[in-house]
């Protein structure tokens, strides 16, 4: 069962070159971040906080892959140290928003009535706040910590999830099998867990995987504005902002960390976008049939037909 869904996932993710590139980048950066965290930073060539005033603003070389910054810290090591920080905050934002979205969206969609109206108006209200501005204000009000950065972003991040889940529930709610389940006197929580959740989850997860990248841009933007993070946290956006004063003399110091942000976000977007397209029934039949996913299914079917004929 698990193996089957894993292989189906692999087929989806590698169904075209773009999403395969996305999947590989995403997995690569996640592995690096976890490795850095688990080994306690031992995979980094230097201590990310160690300054060396005799070797400042060094250009990228084999000794310092990404060069060094104004106080001689190794930028490559700092980028490695920033990966778990950035990725964990953005994953946490998406996870919290997803949880809020599932609870509120299922309540609004399934129970309906006054609760639906109230939840949807509330999400309209929160949708009006420009994300970075609002997150900035909350993060500036709360004491600086990584968790509070995630909280302040979640504050404005949940409404799209709620709407997506609610829309999914409304589409499924009137299906026959839900009616049958009700007739069989299944409990509300059973219908929600077994009847509705598994059917809306794929679409929501695709959105979430696209969204991690967007969340990461916002996290690093907060970092760039230096709001909410404890002082000297290795964070990609914050790293860029600390070198803004020398950016015209040493552009790589700002460009390399921001290109890492670009690659991570691009990875998540390509990955999510590819899966979404491959799952879309309206569009899939018109895809050019040279992709691995479609190709293999056809081959499999052809093989099965061949076998059936042999048995005849």
Closest CA to 102 of 193, 24, 235, 27: 193
Q: Which of residues 126-185 bind another protein (CB under 8 A)?
A: 126, 128-134, 136-138, 140-142, 167, 171
- Residue placing its CB nearer to another protein in the complex, 38 or 244: 244
> Is the distance from CB of 223 to CB of 196 less than 8 angstroms?
no
CB contact at 8 A, 119 and 178: no
Rounded to 5 degrees, what are φ and ψ at 108? Answer: -65, -45
Cα–Cα distance for residue pair 204/30, rounded to 1 Å:
21
SS3 state of residue 51 = coil
* Interacting residue with another protein among 30, 103, 172, 266 (CB under 8 A): 266
**Could you tell me the smallest distance in angstroms from the CB atom of residue 221 to another protein?**
6
What's the closest the beta carbon of residue 101 comes to another protein, in angstroms? 17
Under 8 Å between Cβ of 72 and 53: yes
Q: How far is the CB of 61 from another protein (least distance, A)?
A: 21
Pick the binder of another protein from 56, 91, 273, 279 (CB under 8 A).
Answer: 273
Based on the shown chain and the rule CB under 8 A, indicate whether residue 247 belongs to the binding site for another protein. yes
> What is the rounded CA–CA span in Å between residue 296 and residue 131?
42
Q: How far apart are CA 109 and CA 97, in angstroms?
A: 17
Q: Where are the beta strands (DSSP E) in the chain?
A: none
Site string for another protein, 188-227 (x = CB under 8 A): -------------------------x---x--xx--xxxx
- The partner residues of 292 in beta bridges, in order of sequence, read none
Q: Which stretch binds another protein (CB under 8 A): 81-89, 183-191, 280-288, 293-301?
A: 280-288
* CA dihedral of residues 30, 34, 37, 40 (deg, nearest 10): -120
Residue number with CB closer to another protein (7 or 232): 232
CB of 277 to another protein, least distance (A): 9
Least gap, CB of 60 to another protein (angstroms): 16
- What DSSP assignment string belongs to 152-189? HHHHHHSHHHHHHHHHHHHHHHTSHHHHHHHHTT--HH
Q: Mask 90-129, x = binds another protein (CB under 8 A)? A: -------------------------------x--xxx-xx
Our CB check for another protein shows the closer of 112 and 167 to be 167
**Residue 231 contacts another protein per CB under 8 A:** no
Residues at the site binding another protein, with contacts judged by CB under 8 A: 18, 121, 124-126, 128-134, 136-138, 140-142, 167, 171, 213, 217, 220-221, 224-227, 237, 240-241, 244, 247-248, 251, 254-255, 258-259, 261-262, 265-266, 269-270, 273, 282-283, 286-288
């Amino acid at each position: 069962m698990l193996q089957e869904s894993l292989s189906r996932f692999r087929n989806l993710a590698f169904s075209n070159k773009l999403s395969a590139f996305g999947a590989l980048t995403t997995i690569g950066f996640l592995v690096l971040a976890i490795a850095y965290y688990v080994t306690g930073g031992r995979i980094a060539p230097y201590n990310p906080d160690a300054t060396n005033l005799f070797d400042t603003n060094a250009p990228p070389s084999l000794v310092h892959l990404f060069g060094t910054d104004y106080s001689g810290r190794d930028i490559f090591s700092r980028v490695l140290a920033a990966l778990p920080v950035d990725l964990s905050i953005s994953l946490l934002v998406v996870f919290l928003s997803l949880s809020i979205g599932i609870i509120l969206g299922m309540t609004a969609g399934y129970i309906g009535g006054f609760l639906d109206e109230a939840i949807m108006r509330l999400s309209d209200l929160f949708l009006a706040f420009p994300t970075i501005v609002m997150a900035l204000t909350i993060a500036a009000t709360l004491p600086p910590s990584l968790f509070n950065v995630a909280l302040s972003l979640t504050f404005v991040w949940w409404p799209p999830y709620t709407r997506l889940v609610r829309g999914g529930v409304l589409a499924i709610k009137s299906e026959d099998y839900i009616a049958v389940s009700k007739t069989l006197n299944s409990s509300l929580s059973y219908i929600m867990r077994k009847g509705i959740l598994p059917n809306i989850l794929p679409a929501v997860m695709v959105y979430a995987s696209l969204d991690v990248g967007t969340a990461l841009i916002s996290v690093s933007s907060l970092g760039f504005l230096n709001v909410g993070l404890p002082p000297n946290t290795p964070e990609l956006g914050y790293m860029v902002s600390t070198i803004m004063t020398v950016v015209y003399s040493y552009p790589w110091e700002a460009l390399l960390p921001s290109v890492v942000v670009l690659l991570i976000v691009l990875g998540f977007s390509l990955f999510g976008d590819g899966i979404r397209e491959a799952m879309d029934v309206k569009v899939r039949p018109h895809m050019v049939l040279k992709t691995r996913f479609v190709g293999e299914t056809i081959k499999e079917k052809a093989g099965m037909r061949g076998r059936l004929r042999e048995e005849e």
